[in-house]
């Protein structure tokens, strides 16, 4: 039974590589978009859905939990879809909720951690469903519960698609489960045992360690009809700078402290004599809370308390890194020292201490040159504050730049961008922003888009209304 919704209409044009991908995959009911970050695989997937909308009942879009809000935003950005047509799964989602939504966005990890989610998704998928696995490297482990559950529930769907820029990180073994999700007919093997017997050679000394792959040309030939692959440097019509956004949502604690900070700071405001410092203080507090902490001022004497609470920004950053090719160096800019230390700890835990070079205030000036050299020679990640590393450095070794958050000045942002977009850079550079769904991040993002400073811009808005419309001024502040 086909869901009756308004026809899908897109708002953004296709680039040439996206048109090529559509031409390659539209004749097949299953396919893989192995498109490097920045080349537009999400827009391509949406176009495939638009062209097939008369034949499909709904879209089940699996993605890492941290990317659910990003996928929702991308759908709204590229189509005229109403928010009510999109359901984003959470721990409360059940069979009785959101069945009429055409777009169903499901966290990959939730399928294994929640029986409720797995059962609900299973109930929603029929023969006319279009099932997508975004960042399909998350289902490369053929034994994992999430791989088995997603593959099982998707088998009855006529249309299946996988998206990733990094299909292989450990060798051809990563392809088995991804191709098995699409169809067991692609590789022709009924089990992983049969696949491994023909293509993998294991160590005699270390159990489970793959030491060599065989017949890889045969695998490439078998998957070729179902795969469109492109890198950003192959897309000659792309701009030199490519931009992407990843979104994250607030936790309950963040919502509570965000509201508390606004109430506390605005309670002291004299709306007849509004000071620019108040804007800066308010913006700083709200941005800190969006990053999982708050240096809360207790009194005029300068006493503070330090509050920390759960947040999703760091998880979104780490998931974003998994979508970047493992051989690519990455620059990460973050505004606060607390951010730098959280990011460094997470990277070191996952990739090792030698993979991270640090460049911020806590690193002695005499040691900073060593950290730059470490990044150029061996470290994969360069983690810095824009105030410390945003000027003077040339870091053309990196083709990926992540902004964990942004400062209030456009000049600071563009200086940080240009550390690796300079004479000698031979590749296109991808810039990825992590944004939280909150008023302060939206304010900063809009100001940067207009190449203006967020505090100065907000002050201008306040100056327009404060003299004659005190209530409008209060409303303007409370909208943050």
Q: Which domains does the chain have, with CATH numbers?
A: 16-234 (3.40.50.10810), 239-480 (3.40.50.300)
Question: What is the spatial distance between Cα 334 and Cα 402, in angstroms, rounded to a whole number?
Answer: 9
CB 79 within 8 A of CB 11: yes
Provide the pLDDT for residue 313: 96
What does pTM read for this prediction?
Answer: 0.81
Q: How many helices (H) and strands (E) does the chain have?
A: 20, 17
Provide the pLDDT for residue 281: 87
Neighbours of 55 (CB within 10 A): 12
pLDDT tens digit at each of 480 positions of the chain: 555 467 899 999 999 999 999 999 999 999 999 998 888 999 999 999 999 999 999 999 999 888 888 899 999 999 999 998 999 988 777 666 667 899 999 999 999 988 989 999 999 999 999 999 999 989 999 999 999 999 999 999 999 999 998 888 778 999 999 999 999 999 999 999 999 999 998 888 888 888 889 999 999 999 999 999 998 888 877 778 889 999 999 999 999 999 999 888 888 776 666 677 788 888 999 999 999 999 998 887 778 899 999 999 999 999 999 999 999 999 999 999 999 999 999 999 999 999 999 999 899 888 988 999 999 999 999 999 998 887 778 888 999 999 999 998 888 898 898 888 877 788 889 999 999 999 999 999 998 988 888 888 887 777 766 655 666 666 776 677
Residues whose CB is less than 8 angstroms from the CB of residue 176 and which lie 6 or more positions away in sequence, other chains included = 140, 142, 187, 189, 192, 195
Question: What is the spatial distance between Cα 200 and Cα 454, in angstroms, rounded to a whole number?
Answer: 55
Provide the pLDDT for residue 467: 58
SS3 (DSSP) at 36:
coil
Helices 173-182 & 192-199, crossing angle to 10 degrees? Answer: 140
CB 227 within 8 A of CB 34: yes
- CA-based end-to-end distance of the chain: 43
Residues whose CB is less than 8 angstroms from the CB of residue 445 and which lie 6 or more positions away in sequence, other chains included = 406, 433, 435
Taking the CA atoms of 189, 25, 125 and 165 in sequence, report the sign of the dihedral they define. Answer: positive
Residues whose CB is less than 8 angstroms from the CB of residue 79 and which lie 6 or more positions away in sequence, other chains included = 8, 9, 10, 11, 46, 50
Buried b (16+ CB within 10 A) or exposed e, 195-205: bbeebbeeeee
Complete DSSP assignment for 343-390: HHHHHHHHH-GGGEEEESTTS-HHHHHHHHHHHHHT-SEEEE-HHHHS
**What torsion do the CA atoms of 170, 136, 36, 384 make, to the nearest 10 degrees?**
-80
Question: Tokens 């053929």 appear where?
Answer: 142
Question: What is the spatial distance between Cα 40 and Cα 22, in angstroms, rounded to a whole number?
Answer: 12
DSSP type of residue 35: E
The DSSP bridge partners found for residue 462 are: none
Q: What tokens were used for 438?
A: 């909150």
Provide the pLDDT for residue 4: 47
**What torsion do the CA atoms of 286, 400, 78, 135 make, to the nearest 10 degrees?**
-100
Neighbours of 461 (CB within 10 A): 12
Q: What tokens were used for 223?
A: 């998957």
**What torsion do the CA atoms of 248, 249, 250, 251 make, to the nearest 10 degrees?**
-100
Provide the pLDDT for residue 466: 60
DSSP type of residue 84: G
Question: What is the spatial distance between Cα 265 and Cα 279, in angstroms, rounded to a whole number?
Answer: 10
Q: What tokens were used for 76?
A: 């709204």
Pairing state of beta strands 293-297 and 304-308? antiparallel
Provide the pLDDT for residue 44: 97
Provide the pLDDT for residue 473: 66
């Amino acid at each position: 039974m086909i869901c009756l919704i308004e026809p899908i209409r897109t708002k953004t044009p296709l680039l040439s590589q996206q048109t090529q991908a559509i031409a390659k995959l539209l004749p097949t009911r299953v396919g893989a978009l192995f498109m490097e970050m920045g080349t537009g695989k999400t827009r391509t997937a949406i176009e495939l859905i638009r062209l097939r909308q008369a034949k499909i009942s709904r879209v089940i879009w699996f993605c890492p939990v941290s990317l659910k809000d990003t996928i929702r935003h991308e759908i709204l950005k590229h189509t005229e879809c109403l928010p009510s047509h999109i359901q984003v799964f959470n721990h409360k989602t059940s069979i009785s909720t959101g069945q009429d939504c055409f777009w169903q966005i499901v966290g990959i990890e939730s399928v294994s951690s929640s029986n409720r989610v797995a059962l609900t998704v299973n109930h929603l998928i029929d023969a006319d469903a279009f099932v997508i696995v975004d960042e399909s490297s998350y289902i490369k482990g053929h034994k994992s519960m999430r791989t088995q559950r997603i593959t099982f529930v998707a088998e009855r769907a006529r249309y299946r698609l996988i998206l990733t820029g990094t299909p292989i990180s450990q060798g051809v073994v990563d392809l088995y489960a991804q191709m098995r999700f699409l169809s067991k007919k692609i590789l022709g093997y009924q089990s992983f045992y049969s696949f491994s017997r023909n293509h993998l050679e294991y160590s005699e000394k270390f159990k489970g360690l793959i030491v060599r792959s065989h017949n890889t040309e045969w695998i490439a030939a078998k998957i070729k009809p179902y795969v469109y692959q492109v890198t950003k440097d192959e897309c000659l019509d792309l701009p030199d700078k490519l931009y992407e956004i990843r979104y994250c949502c607030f936790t309950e604690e963040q919502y509570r402290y965000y509201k508390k900070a606004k109430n506390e700071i605005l309670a002291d405001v004299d709306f007849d004599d509004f000071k620019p410092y108040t804007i800066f203080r308010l913006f700083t507090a709200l941005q800190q809370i969006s990053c999982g902490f708050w240096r809360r001022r207790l009194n005029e004497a300068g006493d503070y308390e330090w509050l920390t609470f759960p947040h999703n920004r760091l998880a979104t950053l780490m998931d974003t890194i998994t979508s970047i090719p493992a051989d690519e160096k990455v620059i990460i800019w973050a505004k606060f020292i607390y951010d730098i230390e959280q990011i460094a700890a997470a990277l070191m835990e996952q990739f090792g201490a030698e993979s991270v070079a640090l460049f911020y205030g806590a690193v002695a000036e005499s040691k900073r040159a060593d950290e730059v050299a470490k990044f150029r020679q061996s470290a994969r990640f360069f983690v810095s504050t824009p105030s410390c590393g945003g000027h003077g450095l040339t870091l053309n070794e990196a083709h990926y730049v992540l902004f964990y958050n942004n400062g209030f000045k456009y000049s600071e942002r563009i200086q940080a961008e240009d550390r690796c977009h300079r004479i000698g850079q031979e590749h296109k550079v991808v810039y990825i922003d992590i944004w939280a769904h909150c008023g302060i991040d939206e304010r900063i993002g809009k100001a940067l888009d207009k190449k203006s400073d967020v505090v100065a811009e907000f002050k201008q808005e306040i100056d327009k209304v404060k003299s004659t419309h005190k209530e409008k001024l209060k409303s303007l502040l409370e909208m943050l």
